[in-house]
Amino acid sequence: MDDNDKTLPDIAGAQLPSDPLSRIEHVGKTLYGTEWRGRLADGMGVGRTTLWSWLSGSSKPPGDIDARLARAVRIEASYGQRRAARLAGIYSALATTKES
């Protein structure tokens, strides 16, 4: 575990909060850490001001908020899979390199 991972919530087997605002924050922090708001808005396909409006209580999140959160999770999972494949290739190349 990396030191940065220690700031992320452990969601293995955990249930998501029932209220939408807490769920947004929970998913955002899990995906992106402390700088989650702007990146989550991008991942959800909404403007940052829209997300901030929901979080501040100026407006209510739409009924499809879970679908929007799932979109952000899908995007991050895809990035993670591609990064893992690249890292595996680098690791393999390093492991087979002979020392001179």
The predicted pLDDT at position 58 comes to 97
The predicted pLDDT at position 51 comes to 97
- Read off the pTM: 0.74
CATH 1.10.3470 applies to domain 19-96: no
The predicted pLDDT at position 1 comes to 44
The predicted pLDDT at position 47 comes to 96
Helix, strand, or coil here: 57?
Answer: coil
Tell me which residue has tokens 């955990």: 14
Q: Residue 86 carries which side chain, given as an amino acid letter?
A: R
Reported as a single tens digit per residue, the pLDDT across 37-86 is 999 999 999 999 999 999 999 999 999 999 999 999 999 999 889 999 99
The Cα 69–Cα 40 span in angstroms is 8
CB–CB of 44/51 below 8 Å?
yes
Domain boundaries, given as residue ranges, for the chain: 19-96
